[in-house]
Structure 1
Amino acid sequence: MNTFSKKTIALITLVVASLTFAGCSVKTPTATVKDITVTEKNSTGARILLTVELQNPNDVALPLPHAYYRVSLQDASSFEFKSVPALTLPAKGSQTLTLPAAFAIKPDQPLEGRHYNVVGSIFYHPPGEFRMILDQYHIPLPSADFSASGNINSAASAPEVE
């Protein structure tokens, strides 16, 4: 058996093992969009802040190396961003993230009543030696996913969570 075949077999074994054992010791945190706030509207556009609350059901703290999210706003382009929060979700605790989004909107176009849609993932790094091995093979980190949709109102309504 050549070296390529041995590496392929080792990788397949690791993937199967990760699927089998990944959820055994660490539960997936929950991520919930709690608020959508219009923080600025001027002649060039608007800025919106998303407030996402994370809950960790585990007895260990979980580092949060990055987040990816997309916000779509009716009659405007989508905003996509990969953020590096550099936070740690405390054991049996919670953490609140504030994620920005910006849109080019003409000054005479109101934001109120526009439909928005938010989808995203906050990636966490589970503890342990097994995860270190998975990292060496570039197996993606697990994530806590979130989504919400609703309509912007003058008070920047709390989102309808899906």
Structure 2
Amino acid sequence: MAVDMSHYTAIILIAVDHSEPAEFAFMWYHDFIHKPEYYVVLLYCTDQDDQEIRDASPGRTKKIVTELEEKMKKIEDKFGHLMEITGIKGKIRKGTGKPGEAIVKAANDEGATMIITGSRGLGKIKRAFVHSVSDYVVHNSKVPVITCRKH
């Protein structure tokens, strides 16, 4: 079903997952930025390696797909409920591939005017080895990015 976007003045993409930082980022957006004329796209990126699915046996593939569907259902239930109780209009979609790349691609595809992400607060050394998703998004996005970090 197509959504009439003519009465929305901004499209905000919020990257979500099962973590506390993701919920914090959603609530921070609600408390400090949200306006009724903003449309929100919640993006859940699976951390599944597509190559692993292609190389898996049929039984393993079925298990991986089932696990991904269960994770997506939990995200839809949790954040769908949060959207409902906060009055935020929008949708939840799944991203594929490396999370940072998927977030930037989805923001471009959706015509987002801003991206909101949580942060797990990795230190400088760990971030250098782990390659922070939020760092990738900040450095590759064409639109402003707010990275929310709970202190």
TM-score range normalised by the length of the shorter chain: under 0.3
Structure with greater proportional strand content: 1
Larger RCO (alpha carbons 8 Å, 6+ apart): 2
Larger Rg: 1
Structure with greater proportional helix content: 2
TM, length-normalised to structure 1 = 0.21
TM, length-normalised to structure 2 = 0.22
